[in-house]
Amino acid sequence: MQSTLEIDQLSARFALGRQVTFVEGPGGLPMIELAHDQARATVSLYGGQVLKFQPAGAEPVLWMSEKSHFEEGRAIRGGIPLCWPWFGPSLLDDTLPNHGFVRNRMWDVRATRIVDGEAAQVRLGLSDDAESLRMWPHPFDLELVITVDTALTVELIVRNTGHFAFVCGGALHTYLIVGNVGDVQVHGLEGLSYIDQLRPDTLNRQEGPIVFRGEVDNIYLDTTGPCVLEDPNLHRRIVVEKTGSRSTVVWNPWVAKARRMADFGDEEYLEMVCIETANAGRDLVSVTPRGQHRLKTTLRVMPL
Torsion of CA 259, 77, 150, 33, to 10 degrees: 140
179: Cβ–Cβ under 8 A, 6 or more apart, which residues?
A: 231, 232, 233, 234
Its domain, for residue 74, covers: 4-303
Does the pTM surpass 0.95? The reply is yes
pLDDT for residue 92: 85
97: closest CA among 121, 124, 73, 118? 73
Of the listed 33, 173, 268, 271, which one is catalytic? Answer: 173
- Per-chain mean pLDDT for the chain: 96
Distance between CA atoms of 147 and 32, rounded to whole angstroms? 12
158: closest CA among 173, 171, 175? 171
Q: What is the CATH number of the domain that holds 166?
A: 2.70.98.10
117: Cβ–Cβ under 8 A, 6 or more apart, which residues?
A: none
**Averaged pLDDT, 210-238:** 98
Burial of 159: CB neighbours in 10 Å, binned 0-12, 13-18, 19+: middle
Distances (CA, A) of 239 to 42, 133, 143, 276, 298: 20, 37, 24, 12, 8
Distances (CA, A) of 142 to 25, 160, 179, 270: 24, 9, 35, 34
Look up 173 and say whether it is catalytic. Answer: yes
pLDDT for residue 91: 85
Angle at 74 between CA 121 and CA 253, to 5 degrees: 90
142: closest CA among 108, 112, 175? 108
pLDDT digits (tens, 9 = 90+) for 5-45: 699 999 999 999 999 999 999 999 999 999 999 999 999 99
- Residue 153 phi, psi (nearest 5): -120, 130
Domain count, the chain: 1
pLDDT for residue 2: 47
Distance between CA atoms of 126 and 114, rounded to whole angstroms? 22
pLDDT for residue 117: 86
Distance between CA atoms of 277 and 248, rounded to whole angstroms? 5
The conformational region for residue 132 under phi > 0 = left, psi -120 to 50 = alpha, else beta, is: alpha
pLDDT of residue 75 exceeding 50? yes
Do residues 121 and 113 lie in contact, with contact meaning Cβ atoms separated by under 8 Å?
Answer: yes
pLDDT digits (tens, 9 = 90+) for 135-169: 999 999 999 999 999 999 999 999 999 999 999 99
DSSP for residue 100:
B
Look up 235 and say whether it is catalytic. Answer: no
DSSP for residue 182:
G
pLDDT of residue 1 exceeding 50? no
